[in-house]
Structure 1
Amino acid sequence: MICLRLWRAVPTERRLAWAWVLLLACLVMVSSTGESDAEDLPPVKIVAFGTSLTARGGWQAGLEAKLAACLQRPVRVDSVAKSGETSAWALSQLDRVVAEEPDIILIELYANDATLHRLVSLAQSRKNIGDILDQLHRRLPRARIILMAMNPFSGLRGLIRPFVGSYISAHQAEAQKRGLEFVDNRPGWERLSADDRAAAIPDGAHPRPEAATRIIVPALLGHIAGRDCGE
C-alpha cells in the first residue's frame, strides 16, 4: 500500500526514471517487515518428555537453534524428564507437561519399561502410553504429539533390555492407532560403524550430547518443519 502511494506521488512523466528506485525501496520495506514479523512471533514451545535419554540427552539445545533458524521464528525446548523412570512415573507428570502449553510434545518412555528389573510388562507399558497419549490429546488438543524411538542399547544395558524392540513397537502402535506421529532415530545410529557407535554411546545407553545432536536433530528437524532445512 505504501509503495502504491509513492508511485502515485511521482509525476507521470518521471515515473520511468524513478521506477528502479521505487522498486528497490519497496523490496527493502518488504524484507524489513518480514524480519520484524518473524521477531514478533511467539516462540514455538516444545516439551521433551521422557527418561534419561532426554534428561541427559543434550540434543535439545541443538534442536532449538536449528529449528529456529529453519522456521525463522523463536523456538523454546523444555524438558520434563527423569533418569531411571518408567511410563508409570510419566502418568504422574502430565500436569507439568500441560502447564507448559506446548505446541509440540516429543515423547520417549519405553526404555526403562523394557528393563527386566523394572517389572513393567509389555501390556502394562502399552496401556500406560495409551493413557498418556489420550490425556495429552484431550487436554492439549492443538499440540502435535510425536513419539520417538531413540538410540540402540549395547553391553549390559542391552542385556537387561532383551525385548526393547517390542516395547518400541507397542508404543508406536498406540501412536498410530490414534493418528499421532512417530520418529524413529535408530536408523541414524545404525548407519555408523560399530566402532563409531561404541564411541558415541560409551556406556551402551546414553549417547554423548554431541553425538545425540548429530543424529537426532536432523531427523526431528525435517519431521517437524516438513522441509529440508539444510541438514
Structure 2
Amino acid sequence: MIFGGAAQAESENRPLEIVTFGTSLTARGGWQEPLRAALSTCLSRPVEISIVAKAGATSQWAIGQIDAVVSAAPDVVLLEFYANDAALNRFMTVDASRRNVATILDGLHRGLPQSRVLVMAMNPFIGMRGWMRPFAESYIEAHREEAEKRSMEFVDHRPAWTRLYGDDLAAVIPDGLHPLPEKAADAMVPTLVERLCHGR
C-alpha cells in the first residue's frame, strides 16, 4: 500500500494520522517531527504524529494501551517494544515477549483493520545498556516473525547505524541506549519515508 494516486487524491485534505507506539526510544526519541515534515513534503499532504509511549515500558504495558492507539484511528502505527523486554532485569523471556507482541498486533488488527502497522528495530545498544540485553536479537526476531505472520511490516533501522562504531557511536548514543534526537532522525527518517511515501 502506497499513499499516493487515487487514494491520495480522495484524502488529500485529511491529514495522514500516525501513532508512534513504544518505549523511551519513542517517548523521548525526537524523530517524530523530522518524520512529519519529511512525509508531509513527500506526500504533499498534512501529516500528524502522536505518541503513545512510556520510558521503561515493556510489551506487557503496551497490551493495556491498545485501546488508546485504536481510539486515535491512525492510518499508520509505528511500533517498538523489544528494548525493555530484552533487559535482563525485566525477567521477560523471549516467548513471553512473543506472546505479548502477538496480542498487541492482533488487537491493532481487530481495531484498525485498514491501517498499516510497522514493527521496528531501532538503534544498537552499547556499553552497560548492551550488556544488559545480551539476547536482544532474539527478541527482535520474535517480533519480526509475529509481524510477518500477520502480513504486517517490519522495518530494521539498525543498518543505518553501521557507519558508526567505537567512539563515534558512543558520542551519538551517549547513555548507550538513547540516541541524540537529531541522530535518531538521521537514521530513521529516510527509511520510513521510503516505506511510507514510496512503498519501498
With the length of structure 2 as denominator, give the TM-score of the two structures. 0.93
**Corresponding residue number in structure 1 for 2:138:** 166
In 2, are the aligned partners of 1:157 and 1:205 still within 8 Å (CA)? yes
Give the distance between the partners of 2:11 and 2:155, measured in 1 at CA: 29
Residue of structure 2 equivalent to 1:133: 105
The reply to whether residue 153 of structure 1 matches residue 125 of structure 2 is yes
* Equivalent-residue separation in structure 2 for 1:62 and 1:80 (angstroms): 18
Confirm or deny: 8 A CA contact 1:39 1:74 kept in the other structure.
no
**Aligned counterpart in structure 2 of residue 77 of structure 1, from 41, 44, 49:** 49
Aligned pair in 2 of structure 1 residues 174, 227: CA closer, same or farther (>3 Å)?
closer
1:1-231 superposed matches below 5 A: 41-226=13-198
Please report how far the alpha carbon of residue 158 of structure 1 lies from its aligned counterpart in structure 2 after TM superposition. Answer: 0.5
SS of equivalent residue, structure 2 residue 105: helix
Higher alpha-carbon Rg: 1
- Cα shift at 1:209: 0.4
Structure 2 residue identity aligned to 1:211: K
The secondary structure found in structure 1 opposite 2:60 is: helix
The alpha-carbon distance between structure 1 residues 72 and 38, as it changes in their structure 2 partners (threshold 3 A), is farther
Q: Which runs of 5+ in 2 are unaligned?
A: 1-8
* TM-score (structure 1 length as normaliser): 0.80
Q: Report the RMSD for the aligned CA atoms in angstroms.
A: 1.5
Query: Unmatched 5+ residue regions in structure 1?
Result: 1-36
Q: Distance in 2 between matches of 1:226 and 1:155?
A: 36
Q: Secondary structure at the match of 1:224?
A: helix
Partners of 1:48 and 1:80 within 8 A in 2: yes
Identity within the alignment, %: 54
Structure 2 residue matching 1:183: 3-state secondary structure? strand
Partner of 1:21: none
1:203 Cα shift? 0.5
- Structure with more helix by fraction: 1
Higher RCO (C-alpha 8 Å, min separation 6): 2
Q: Please tell me whether the aligned partners of residues 147 and 172 of structure 1 are also in contact (alpha carbons under 8 angstroms).
A: yes
CA distance in 1, matches of 2:158, 2:172: 13
